[in-house]
Amino acid sequence: ETEDERTAQASMLFENFVQASTCKGTLQAFSILCRQMDLDPLDYSTFYSSLKAAVSTWKVKALWTKLDKRAQHKVYNQNKACQDTRCLVIGGGPCGLRTAIELALLGCKVVVIEKRDTFSRNNVLHLWPYTIHDLRGLGAKKFYGKFCAGSIDHISIRQLQLMLLKVSLILGVEIHVNVEFVKLVEPPAEQAEDGPGWRAEVRPSSHPLSDFDFDVVIGADGRKNTLEGFGRKEFRGKLAIAITANFVNRNTTAEAKVEEISGVAFIFNQKFFLELREETGIDLENIVYYRDHTHYFVMTAKKQSLLDKGVIINDYIETERLLSLDNVNQEALLSYAREAADFGTNYQLPSLDFAINHYGQPDVAMFDFTSMYASENAALIRKKHGHQLLVALVGDSLLEPFWPMGTGCARGFLAAFDCAWMVRGWAQGRSPLEILAERESIYRLLPQTTTENISKNFEQYAIDPATRYPNLNSSCVRPHQVRHLFIDGQQDSCRVERGGPTRRSANLSKRESEVHPGRLLTWCQKQTQGYRGVNITDLTSSWRNGLALCALIHRQRPELIDFDSLNEEDMAGNNQLAFDVAEREFGIQPVARGKEMAAG
C-alpha cells in the first residue's frame, strides 16, 4: 500500500463517517475508520491529533481549522486544563453531547452513556443566533451541508444530535449506546482512598462500564432526571396544551415557497387567530411552522376548542387525566393538527401527509405545558470514603424549556458551558463551596436569558461565563449558602434540604428595608388601577388574595397571566401563580409559598 493509497483510503473512510445519517451508522463508520487507520479512540488525549495526522486531505482541512481554533482557546490550556478528570455524561441528547465536547476540549476523559441507539426525533429546535454561531464553529456545515443556510434558524433534533455525536467522537469522547444509567454506586469502604471511586450502576448490568470510576457525573438525561439530590421547583402557569405535528417534506418548489411562521412574532397576530377560529373552530394561542427535514408545526391550543372538535373526549380538571390516552381521540387530533397547519400556511402545502415517528405512527403529539420544572440547584458535591464527586445537571434536566419559544437548546448550551466552567474550577482545586456558590450564582441568570440580554459578541463566547452574560455577578450566592450542597458521606440521607421558611422570611425583611414604602405603594396603586378585585391600600393585607401581584405582572406582560380567569377566592393559587411566573420570567426568587401568603 503506497502513501497515496493510504491517504485516499483515510479520506474515504472519514467521509463515510461524516456523511453517516443515523446514530448506529455513525458509530459503525467511526469504528471502521479507527480500525483501518490503526487509531485508538481510547487514547483520548492524543486521539484528535492522531486522527488529524491520518486524515489530512484538503477536503477536511477546513474542519480541522475550525476545531483547532476552538481547541486552542486559552481556557482549555492546550487540552490540559482538566487532564486527570474523569467524567460520566448521562444522556446523548443535544445538551449531554454539547457538554461532553467542552469537557473533552478541557482534556477530561469523557464517557457518554445513552440508553437508546437511534436518533429519531423529527421535532425541530429553534436556534438563537449564538447557537448557530457556536455550531458553525464546530463544523456544522461539514456534517450537514444545509445547516442554517440563508435565514434558517432551526434544526431537527435528530440532525443536531447527529452532528454533535460526530464532533464528540472526533475529540476522543467515548460513547456507549444502549446503556442506561440506573444509579450512583458509592466507593467501597474497605479500600478507602486507594480503592475505586464513584461508579455507576448501569443496564445491562454486565456492561464493562460498571467498572468505570469517575470524578464528575453530568445528568443530561432530559426532563426526567434520574440523579438524586436535586429538588424540583414547579412553575405553574395557566393551562397550556401544545401539539406538535410533522408532515413529509418532499422538497418541491411549491413547498419551498411556503412561508415559515416564527413563533415570537406571531403570538401577537390576533387577526390570524380570530379568522382561524371562525373558519375552522380551532382556537390557538400561538403557532410555529418550520420547514426542515419535515414540515414541523408546534401550536398551543385552547382546551375548549379541543373539546368542541372532539379531540379531548371528556373535560377533567386534572390535566393528566384530561390528556390521558383514553381521553384523546387520535383521529380527531390528527385532523385538528392538519387543519391548523393547512390554514396556517394558507393552504399552500400541496400534500399534508404525516411523517412517521419512532413508533411507526403519524408523528403528532399533544403535551401539557401547564407546569414546567426546574432543578432547585445546578450542582452538588458528594463525598464518601475520601472520594469526592461533582454532580451537575444540564439541559432539560436542569431547566425545562417551553418548546414554542425554543429555549431548550439555547439555554441548554449556556448551561453546558457553565457546567464545563465549573468542572475546570474543580480540576484547578478550588474549594468545593466556592465553586458550588459560583455555579448557583450563574444558574440564577439562566431562566432569564433571552436573545436580547446575552452578550452579542459571539466570537468571544467561551466557557467563562463572563464572556456570555453581561450582568454577571458570580458571587451573589455565598459559599455558606450552599453548604447543604456539599453532601458528606457522614449524613445518612442524600436528599438535599430545601430552603425552609426561616430563610424565606429573612429574605422578605431584607427586601422590604431596601425600598421606600410610600413611593412603592403609590407605584403599585398606579400600576393596578382598574383591575378587578384589586384595591391596594397597604403593603400587607391588600396583597393576601394574590390578585394584586397577578395584576402587577399582567400590567407588564399581559401574555403571562390570564387575569380575567383568576378566582378571587383561590388565594393560595393566585399567589403561587404570581410567584412562579415572577421567578420563571423575571428571575425573582419567591419570598414565601402561595399558601403562606394567603394565610397572611
Site residues, ligand FAD (CB under 6 A): 90-96, 113-116, 121, 123, 125, 157, 180-181, 220-222, 226, 244, 298, 395-397, 401, 403, 406, 408-409, 412
Q: Considering beta carbons, is residue 14 or 143 the nearer one to ligand FAD?
A: 143
- Distance in Å, CB of 330 to ligand FAD, minimum: 17
- Which sign does the torsion angle of CA 18, 22, 23, 29 carry? negative
CB 283 within 8 A of CB 304: yes
What's at 147, amino acid-wise? Answer: F
Distance from C-alpha of 415 to C-alpha of 102, rounded to nearest angstrom: 11
Distance from C-alpha of 596 to C-alpha of 600, rounded to nearest angstrom: 7
Q: Considering beta carbons, is residue 416 or 477 the nearer one to ligand FAD?
A: 416
Distance from C-alpha of 536 to C-alpha of 527, rounded to nearest angstrom: 10
CB 93 within 8 A of CB 398: no
Q: Considering beta carbons, is residue 94 or 197 the nearer one to ligand FAD?
A: 94
- Distance in Å, CB of 490 to ligand FAD, minimum: 28
CB 162 within 8 A of CB 119: yes
- Distance in Å, CB of 338 to ligand FAD, minimum: 17
Output b/e per residue, 561-580; b: 16+ Cβ within 10 A: bebeebeeebbbbbbbbbbb
* Residues paired with 219 in a beta bridge: 90, 393
Q: Considering beta carbons, is residue 181 or 354 the nearer one to ligand FAD?
A: 181
- Distance in Å, CB of 547 to ligand FAD, minimum: 33
Q: Considering beta carbons, is residue 290 or 579 the nearer one to ligand FAD?
A: 290
Q: Considering beta carbons, is residue 409 or 482 the nearer one to ligand FAD?
A: 409
* Residues paired with 176 in a beta bridge: 113
Q: How far is CA 538 from CA 56, 522, 534, 567, in A?
A: 73, 10, 12, 21
Count H helices and E strands in the chain, helices first: 21, 17
Cα 111–chain centre separation = 20
Q: Considering beta carbons, is residue 244 or 441 the nearer one to ligand FAD?
A: 244
- Distance in Å, CB of 486 to ligand FAD, minimum: 25
- Distance in Å, CB of 296 to ligand FAD, minimum: 7
Q: Considering beta carbons, is residue 15 or 117 the nearer one to ligand FAD?
A: 117
Q: Considering beta carbons, is residue 422 or 582 the nearer one to ligand FAD?
A: 422
Beta strands 486-488 and 379-384: pairing type? Answer: parallel
Distance from C-alpha of 170 to C-alpha of 40, rounded to nearest angstrom: 12
- Distance in Å, CB of 409 to ligand FAD, minimum: 6
- Distance in Å, CB of 183 to ligand FAD, minimum: 9
List strand residue ranges (DSSP E) for 320-466, in order.
Answer: 364-368, 371-375, 379-384, 387-393
- Distance in Å, CB of 525 to ligand FAD, minimum: 40
What's at 197, amino acid-wise? Answer: G
Q: Considering beta carbons, is residue 220 or 487 the nearer one to ligand FAD?
A: 220
- Distance in Å, CB of 179 to ligand FAD, minimum: 7
Q: Take residue 526 and report the three cell numbers written for it.
A: 398606579
Cα 9–chain centre separation = 39
Distance from C-alpha of 13 to C-alpha of 7, rounded to nearest angstrom: 10
- Distance in Å, CB of 113 to ligand FAD, minimum: 5
Q: Considering beta carbons, is residue 113 or 553 the nearer one to ligand FAD?
A: 113
Q: Take residue 564 and report the three cell numbers written for it.
A: 380575567
Distance from C-alpha of 464 to C-alpha of 475, rounded to nearest angstrom: 14
